Amino acid sequence: MTEQPEIIFEKIAARKKELAGKVLILCHHYQQEDVFRFADLTGDSLKLAREAADSEKYPYIIFCGVHFMAESADILMDDDQAVILPDLNAGCPMADMATVEQVAAAWNELAEVCGGQTVIPITYVNSSAGIKAFVGNRGGSVCTSSNAERVLTWAWTRGEKVFFFPDEHLGRNSSKALGVGDDEIVVWQRGKKLGGNSVEQLVKARTILWNGYCHVHQEFLVEQIDKWREKIPSIRIIVHPESPWEVVRQADYYGSTERIIEAVRQSEAGAVWAIATEVNLVNRLKKQHPDKTIHLLAPTPCTCATMSYITPANLLWVLDNLAQGKVVNQITVDGQTAAGAKLALDRMLEI
């Protein structure tokens, strides 16, 4: 028999009290409200992992996000801290679009045709620990949606070209913002020989983009921006850089989830916004800023379906087990992978 939500909420609150000092609950901005209400720390993936690593030492970290986020937290935590993902199916489809095997094969093919040139691998933080390690072990760095342009600038001081994983849109948006021309950007299509490019194109390219994408942010369209502007000429449009270039180019502002939150917070009462990011964050901003009018850019909700696998019920299941001294759904990155991934993360922090 399924329990009423209120009963589950009461039980979670009681378990949190019982386990105080032992458990830290981290919630990503895209998490549904019924889970988010129990967060000890909130933020984007890297902010959460770093704040948890810097905070008082809790033996158990429950990450209410997706798999790669829990991996990053495990890499940054001490060995005697356990990171737990309440549902192991909560993955990130975009991160899953770049496997180590695929990337290694592409890397080798590229080396054959661009042998004399230095290629710097860069991975978005939304990638598996294996990809981060691959990049770290080859002199590359992680980047986030807030620092991608800085990291790319750094990469071009060290090599002729950048191989960017897994988000095609963030890589293109950041490259173009830095003045890289369309003829210097190519897309590596998974599964095709030389990624579907000619040798000449690859030799000329400054940015090679893996063709991964986030289905949530890819749903935003230029027509949606046009419609809002026609309806409300004073509306401000802000989009996440995982959205396609045409959308980013037409927006008034673009930036990471943290930047979106800050832009709305700093705007004056009465401001009207249309926001292109995950619907749970947009709905939360609506509630937090009743003095402003906030819309989702798209007409239908854009939800991160896998993030929503984390529910109050499985959060309670984790807490119930911890109360009995049992750790379930622990995410562990093996030492060798963690060391390589940490190289890439540390490089980013130095840049």
Give residues in contact with ligand SF4 (CB under 6 A): 30, 66, 92-94, 126, 214, 216, 278, 304, 307
The minimum distance between CB 115 and ligand SF4, in angstroms, equals: 33
The minimum distance between CB 246 and ligand SF4, in angstroms, equals: 19
The minimum distance between CB 70 and ligand SF4, in angstroms, equals: 12
The minimum distance between CB 214 and ligand SF4, in angstroms, equals: 3
Residue type at 24 in one-letter notation: L
Task: Give yes or no for a contact between 176 and 245, defined as CB atoms under 8 angstroms apart.
Answer: yes
Strand 141-143 to 119-124 pairing? parallel
For residue 195, is it left (φ>0), alpha (ψ between -120 and 50) or beta? left
Cα(348)–Cα(266) distance, integer angstroms? 28
Identify which of 166, 121, 100 has the alpha carbon closest to the alpha carbon of residue 344: 121
Identify which of 303, 295, 260 has the alpha carbon closest to the alpha carbon of residue 279: 303
Q: Which is nearer to ligand SF4, 23 or 94 (CB)?
A: 94
Q: Which is nearer to ligand SF4, 127 or 197 (CB)?
A: 127
The minimum distance between CB 65 and ligand SF4, in angstroms, equals: 7
Q: Which is nearer to ligand SF4, 27 or 322 (CB)?
A: 27
Residue 310 is encoded by which pair of tokens? 């984390």
Question: Exposed/middle/buried for 226, CB within 10 Å: 0-12, 13-18, 19+?
Answer: exposed
Residue 330 has a CB neighbour count (10 Å cut-off) of 14
Q: Which is nearer to ligand SF4, 62 or 281 (CB)?
A: 281
Q: Which is nearer to ligand SF4, 30 or 60 (CB)?
A: 30
